[in-house]
Structure 1
Amino acid sequence: MIDFLATFIVFFAVIDPVGTVPVFIAATRGYDTKAKRKIALISTGVAAIVLLFFVAAGELILSAMSIPLSAFQIAGGIVLFLFALSMIFGESKPEEETRLAESHHETAIFPLAVPSIAGPGAMLAAVLMTENTKVGLWQQVQISAVMMSVVFLTLILMLMASSIHRFIGNAGASVVSRVMGLILAAVATTNTLAGISNYFKL
């Protein structure tokens, strides 16, 4: 059995469903309710496929390129840490990706599906948390199910976007994004230290 709560928190941090709400609102400005619902469904569907692909094939791709998972774990931890720092000290996800949404038309795919939902952090987490040598098939299924539950939560929040945004505003979404960034920084540090330990067999 996996630690469902810890796994959920990790994926909640890297996917950041709350931070997607203002991005979705900006990306779908001018669309009617039916079109917004369709965009929400397409974006979460595409994001789910991308993340499941990384669960299924991410480690195989690394093996084919002769990249040890420990090296990827170290690199992934560093990238996640930098990503977390940008969430804490830089522009929050809503602020940064809202600008992207305002300048692109294929909103369901970009920036909503990638990189808002299935961003670099989520892709790395999907690979690192389903390592074949440490996690059995049943555990991988459980982790994937938790990951999909966060994607589904993102869909629900997007469908309720207008009400949520009126309640928390951009400031509230920014606060949540920064708190998630702090949690993600701790997760990234743990991954980096574990990768170093595995690489040098400490």
Structure 2
Amino acid sequence: MQDLVERFVTLWVVIDPIGTVPVFIAVTAGIDTAARRKTAFQAALVSAGVLLFFLIFGQLLIDALDIGLNSFQVAGGIVLFLFALTMIFGESKPEAEQKQVEGAQEIEKPNPAIFPLAVPSMASPGAMLAIVMLTDNNRFGVVDQAITGGVMLVVIAIAFVLMLFADPIIRLIGHAGSAIVSRVMGMILASVAANAVLSAILEIVQTGQL
């Protein structure tokens, strides 16, 4: 049960459904309700597809490059920690991704369901790394990996529902509230990342294997 909660918290933090809501509002401003719902569904579908790709083929990539599990876990934990620091000290996720949208729109009109909602909002680099770490073949069996995939889909489904109710949520917590939530999630992610690094280092010390 504890492992299940840890997986859910990790994936919730890196996918960040709440932080996606202001981004969704920004990129769907001026379009009708039906189009907004379609955009939300496409974003959820694409992000799920991207993360499922890393769930299935991420381990194959690691093995092809002959990267040790502990080495990957240390590297992944460090990257997740740095990602968490940007959430805590940098611009909040909504602010940063809205700027990405504004910059891209000066060049072309991207499909908002793909950029920035699916990638990099929900299927963020941190989420890609996290899903690979949580489904490593050397530590987790097929059942555990399937459970992790199910948890990931649940988090994305929650993000989809939140996008459908984006307007009342923002009215309730405000943009400042969403920024605060993003920073709190960053603290949680930093703790998870530090635990991953320390666990890998302890394993290296005990077994001598990278």
In structure 2, what is the equivalent of residue 46 of structure 1? 46
Aligned residues: 202
TM-score of the pair, normalised by structure 1? 0.95
In structure 2, what is the equivalent of residue 186 of structure 1? 191
Q: Is there any run of 5+ residues in structure 2 with no aligned partner, and where?
A: 105-109
CA distance in 1, matches of 2:78, 2:204: 15
Question: 2:114 corresponds to which letter in structure 1?
Answer: I
In structure 1, what is the equivalent of residue 107 of structure 2? none
Residue in structure 2 matching 1:135, options 126, 140, 145: 140
In structure 1, what is the equivalent of residue 70 of structure 2? 70
CA distance in 1, matches of 2:203, 2:131: 19
What are the equivalent positions in structure 2 for 1:9-48 lying under 5 Å apart? 9-48=9-48
Q: Is there any run of 5+ residues in structure 1 with no aligned partner, and where?
A: none
Identity of aligned residues (%): 52
Q: CA deviation at 1:30?
A: 1.4
CA distance in 2, matches of 1:57, 1:194: 24
CA distance in 2, matches of 1:175, 1:115: 20
Do residues 125 (structure 1) and 136 (structure 2) align? no
Aligned residues of 1:84 and 1:181 also touching (Cα < 8 A): yes
Aligned residues of 1:27 and 1:102 also touching (Cα < 8 A): no
CA distance in 1, matches of 2:62, 2:11: 22
TM-score of the pair, normalised by structure 2? 0.92
C-alpha offsets along residues 9-55 of structure 1, whole Å, 9 cap, x if unaligned?
11111111000000000111111111111111111100001111111
RMSD: 1.4
Question: 2:189 corresponds to which letter in structure 1?
Answer: L
Query: Which is worse superposed, 171-180 or 97-106?
Result: 97-106
